[in-house]
């Protein structure tokens, strides 16, 4: 675990001032760079030592058989695992006779900085070789947000106090050896040398390798070009073989002299394009990048990020750690989605191979809500990916004996990749989550073309699924039995409240679009009769409620189950799923992650204030937060219910999930949903932002520690700035036409550039309900 203080607390950077090899894998995730298409972990330039080497291309995976001890109908047979593609970021260095390797010699200083405004990772170090030769190395690395296929490294070595012979080897390396993992051996086998060589090529300063994955048959091309500047008599040479292409640069440096290599790396992949076409594609991408050169790329990167921050920044006064963490989170959320373009946004983004590189409901329920108000174009792209995978989802529904589309619980390419159906296939809520994300996107952008061309098909097919999955009982009440909600410590339960409410919204939204676009609906075979059956199901949806306790039930019968023996559970027995059998967890009242509490947020209009408070108080002592997706949602509802101190503690937990490696698995990649959750906790928790019909509502209430919370968001072609202190809320329309928003229920007309202020009602600051023993959030 990264101990506190691993990174300096600064508003716009994440700075590591000392290299600790024990936590190298974690820092590789924290310093990962990506644009949603290409991802490079923050591995050291020289490749070794490493925690986990990682270069990824969104959508490139290898297929492998899924293991089952016992056969059953409809089990997915093939799994998909993200692979480490050809590594283009390696620059090895030889200093006199010795390799620059931080495990040897003496490291005088080492600093890495992730710059959130420039979108680069900078490294500076001074090293003394075992033979006593001192050098300085400076490198800057970026994955371009403007040129999608491109990564770049500027690498410079300087002799410090003596005449020094240096050799830089800039490489493309395929099939790197990976550290052993404990997981499924069949998946591990698929990952050993997953790339079959097709072409290796060098010319001048150019390198290129083309490979194909063995089983999934995807072609991957990576090419590099270089600009070398060094003293007179600097020499270069190139060579290649099937898994390696290399430019070697040799020079002799006098003290103070430098050798610099600027490396541009282009990536491409395809399941259909030919070898020559792929080679040409990466060469062309290099030519485009060379045209701008390193400085041009860096300037574009900065401009792109200036635009992003102007639409997305969150300022927190009074808490520097949260300030840094929310920007760090936003940066990585942007990196995960910015250029994914009709591909998935995986749970770890492209920062590591955790969860096999799969995308889950995390995308729609945690990541897309943030991007909707900060970078909405990325949301449309992510949902178009879902639309593109409809054929697989329809096939899956048919296989399950259902109508419409059944989207996968976890996937890379669109096919179901979960081998554990109780917490996979049965988690049908993913379908309503997709619908929820798209309705939110359309309401926040007014993008009717998208609604008609993409949204409608997704809504209709998911509504069909719900209609065929549920049934009306003898009284006409609609039930959805035998499903798993967000809480994975309950499974195959009847009438999961979150699922039912989300399905209801899905059914109604589908009926609405069918009425709005009858011509297009006809093309999808949807008519008034079908949409009437959706409305009927929605209107008679069962909402499980315990009238005696006056709380909603997470699923029918949940409140009568035996309570988990929290008092008898030791701190080291969490997460429960690794210490207790699922059969026992499933039949008790114990909750892994916000489920009903998530419904209080996503379907807020269904609950009055009293029920928000009663439900939260009931479920809080049962919720153990064995998933990183929980704290941020508990923060949102704790803030709404007036438990501001508790909301703050949960916000801290979500915010520092990766910067402090709270779940001890940051090495596998970042928790993108939790990083997005920091924004959710601040904007929708303390800012109280909610959708309210055709507009937005804000109910700010700040925790004691915050002097000020300010954020910018995009809404229907406008840019809004919200600024809240303990006493005053100020609303400013930065651009776009006038808009009415609501402040604690009061309508407020905003005119361009005319800030409107209102007093903030005194917050409640209630003493918080109890959590299970050992599961209280840390208190700062």
Least distance in Å: CB of 608 to ligand BGC? 28
Has 362 been labeled as part of a binding site? yes
Instruction: Indicate whether 629 belongs to the interface with ligand BGC (CB under 6 A).
Output: yes
Q: Look at residue 438 and give its three-state secondary structure.
A: helix
Report the site for ligand BGC in 347-366 (rule: CB under 6 A). 347, 355, 360-362
Has 592 been labeled as part of a binding site? yes
Least distance in Å: CB of 34 to ligand BGC? 17
8 Å CB contact between 732 and 723? yes
Site string for ligand BGC, 583-622 (x = CB under 6 A): ---------xx-----------------------------
Stated as kind and residue range, the H or E segment containing 639 is helix 631-641
Site string for ligand BGC, 645-674 (x = CB under 6 A): ----------------------------x-
DSSP string for 221-268: EEEEEEEEE-STT-EEEEEEETTEEEEEEEEEE-TT-EEEEEEEEEEE
Catalytic residue of the set 46, 461, 488, 553 = 488
Q: How many residues form the binding site for ligand BGC (CB under 6 A)?
A: 12
8 Å CB contact between 565 and 587? no
Report the site for ligand BGC in 443-502 (rule: CB under 6 A). 486, 488
Q: How many Å apart are CA 352 and CA 716, to the nearest integer? A: 35
Query: Of the two residues 381 and 433, which places its CB atom closer to ligand BGC in the complex?
Result: 433
Closest residue to ligand BGC, judged by C-beta, is: 360
Q: How many Å apart are CA 387 and CA 383, to the nearest integer? A: 6
Active site residue 746: no
Q: Look at residue 317 and give its three-state secondary structure.
A: strand
Q: How many Å apart are CA 563 and CA 552, to the nearest integer? A: 16
Return the bridge partners of 471, or none: 479
Instruction: Indicate whether 336 belongs to the interface with ligand BGC (CB under 6 A).
Output: no
Query: Of the two residues 261 and 359, which places its CB atom closer to ligand BGC in the complex?
Result: 359
Least distance in Å: CB of 630 to ligand BGC? 8
Query: Of the two residues 116 and 629, which places its CB atom closer to ligand BGC in the complex?
Result: 629
Instruction: Indicate whether 247 belongs to the interface with ligand BGC (CB under 6 A).
Output: no
Least distance in Å: CB of 421 to ligand BGC? 15
Encoding tokens for residue 55?
């270069």
Query: Of the two residues 116 and 597, which places its CB atom closer to ligand BGC in the complex?
Result: 597
Has 319 been labeled as part of a binding site? no
Number of neighbours of residue 107 by Cβ within 10 angstroms: 14
Least distance in Å: CB of 490 to ligand BGC? 12
Which of 102, 105, 97 is CA-nearest to residue 128? 105
Query: Of the two residues 319 and 626, which places its CB atom closer to ligand BGC in the complex?
Result: 626
Which of 281, 284, 259 is CA-nearest to residue 268? 281
Q: How many Å apart are CA 655 and CA 1, to the nearest integer? A: 16
Least distance in Å: CB of 506 to ligand BGC? 19
Least distance in Å: CB of 461 to ligand BGC? 22
Residue with tokens 């559970």: 569
Has 361 been labeled as part of a binding site? yes
Query: Of the two residues 127 and 409, which places its CB atom closer to ligand BGC in the complex?
Result: 409
Q: Look at residue 745 and give its three-state secondary structure.
A: coil
State the sign of the Cα–Cα–Cα–Cα dihedral 325, 327, 329, 331: negative
8 Å CB contact between 723 and 756? no
Chain CA centroid to CA 135, Å? 38
DSSP string for 35-73: -SSEEE----TT--S-S---EEETT-EEEEEPP-SS--T
Between strands 739-743 and 695-698, the pairing is: parallel
Of 627, 640, 678, 732, the residue at the interface with ligand BGC (CB under 6 A) is: 627
Residues in contact with ligand BGC by the rule CB under 6 A: 347, 355, 360-362, 486, 488, 592-593, 627, 629, 673
Known binding residues for substrate are 361-362, 592-593
Known binding residues are 361-362, 592-593
Catalytic residues: 488
């Amino acid at each position: 675990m990264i101990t506190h203080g691993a990174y300096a607390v600064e508003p716009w950077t994440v700075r590591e001032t000392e290299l600790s090899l024990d936590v190298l894998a974690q820092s590789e995730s924290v310093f990962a760079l990506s644009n949603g298409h290409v991802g490079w972990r923050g591995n050291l330039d020289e490749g070794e030592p490493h925690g986990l080497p990682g270069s990824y291309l969104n959508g490139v995976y290898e297929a492998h058989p899924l293991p089952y001890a016992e056969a059953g109908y409809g089990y997915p047979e093939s799994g998909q695992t993200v692979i480490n593609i050809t590594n283009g970021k390696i620059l090895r260095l030889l200093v006199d006779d010795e390799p620059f390797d931080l495990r040897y010699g003496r490291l005088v200083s080492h600093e890495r900085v992730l710059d959130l405004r420039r979108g680069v990772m900078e490294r500076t170090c001074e090293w003394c070789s075992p033979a006593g030769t001192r050098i300085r190395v400076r490198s800057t690395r970026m994955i371009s947000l403007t040129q999608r296929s491109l990564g770049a490294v500027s690498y410079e070595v300087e002799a410090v106090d003596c005449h020094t012979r240096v050799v830089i080897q800039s490489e493309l390396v395929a099939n790197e050896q990976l550290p052993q993992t404990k997981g499924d051996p069949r998946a591990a086998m698929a990952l050993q040398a997953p790339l079959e060589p097709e072409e290796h090529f060098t010319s001048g300063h150019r390198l290129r390798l083309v490979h194909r994955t063995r089983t999934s048959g995807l072609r991957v091309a990576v090419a590099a070009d270089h600009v070398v500047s060094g003293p007179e008599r600097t020499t270069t040479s190139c060579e290649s073989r099937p898994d390696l292409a290399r430019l070697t640069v040799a020079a002799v440096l006098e003290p103070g002299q430098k050798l610099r290599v600027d490396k541009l790396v282009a990536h491409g992949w395809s399941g259909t394009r030919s070898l020559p076409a792929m080679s040409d594609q990466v060469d062309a991408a290099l030519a485009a990048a060379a045209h701008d050169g390193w400085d041009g790329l860096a300037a574009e990167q900065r401009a792109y990020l200036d635009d992003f921050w102007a639409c997305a920044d969150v300022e927190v006064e009074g808490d520097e750690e949260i300030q840094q963490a929310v920007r760090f989170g936003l940066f990585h959320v942007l990196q995960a989605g910015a250029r994914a373009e009709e591909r998935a946004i995986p749970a770890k983004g492209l920062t590591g191979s955790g969860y096999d590189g799969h995308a889950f409901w995390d995308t729609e329920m945690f990541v897309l809500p943030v991007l909707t108000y900060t970078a909405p174009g990325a949301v449309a792209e992510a949902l178009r990916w879902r639309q593109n995978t409809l054929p697989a989802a329809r096939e899956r529904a048919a296989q399950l004996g259902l109508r419409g589309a059944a989207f996968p619980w976890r996937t890379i390419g669109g096919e179901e990749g979960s081998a554990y159906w109780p917490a996979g296939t049965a988690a049908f809520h993913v379908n309503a989550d997709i619908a929820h994300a798209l309705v939110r996107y359309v309401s926040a952008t007014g993008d009717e073309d998208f609604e008609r061309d993409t949204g409608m098909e997704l809504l209709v097919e998911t509504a069909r699924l719900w209609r065929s999955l549920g049934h009306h009982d003898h009284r006409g009440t609609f039930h959805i039995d035998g499903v798993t909600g967000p809480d994975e410590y309950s499974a195959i339960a009847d009438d999961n409240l979150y699922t039912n409410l989300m399905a209801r919204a899905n059914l109604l939204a589908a009926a609405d679009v069918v009425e709005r676009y009858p011509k297009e609906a006809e093309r999808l075979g949807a008519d008034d009769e079908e949409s009437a059956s959706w409305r009927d199901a929605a209107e008679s949806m069962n909402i499980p409620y315990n009238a005696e306790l006056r709380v909603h039930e997470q699923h029918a019968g949940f409140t009568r189950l035996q309570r988990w023996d929290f008092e008898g559970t030791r701190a080291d027995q969490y997460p429960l799923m690794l210490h207790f059998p699922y059969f026992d967890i499933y039949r008790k009242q114990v909750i892994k992650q916000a489920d009903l509490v998530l419904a209080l947020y996503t379907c807020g209009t269904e609950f009055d204030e009293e029920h928000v408070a009663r439900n939260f108080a009931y479920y809080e002592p049962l919720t153990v937060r064995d998933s990183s997706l929980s704290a941020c949602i508990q923060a949102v509802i704790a803030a709404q219910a007036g438990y501001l101190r508790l909301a703050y503690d949960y916000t801290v937990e979500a915010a520092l999930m990766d910067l402090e490696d709270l779940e001890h698995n940051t090495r596998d990649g970042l928790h993108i949903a939790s990083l997005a959750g920091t924004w959710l906790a601040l904007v929708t928790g303390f800012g109280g932002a909610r959708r309210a019909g055709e507009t937005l509502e804000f109910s700010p209430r700040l925790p004691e520690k915050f002097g000020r919370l300010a954020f910018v968001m995009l809404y229907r072609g406008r840019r809004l700035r919200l600024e809240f202190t303990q006493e005053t809320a100020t609303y400013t329309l930065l651009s776009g036409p006038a808009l009415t928003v609501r402040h604690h229920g009061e309508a407020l007309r905003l005119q361009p550039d005319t800030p409107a202020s209102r007093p903030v009602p005194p917050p409640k600051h209630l003493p918080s309900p109890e959590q299970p023993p050992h599961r209280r959030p840390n208190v700062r």
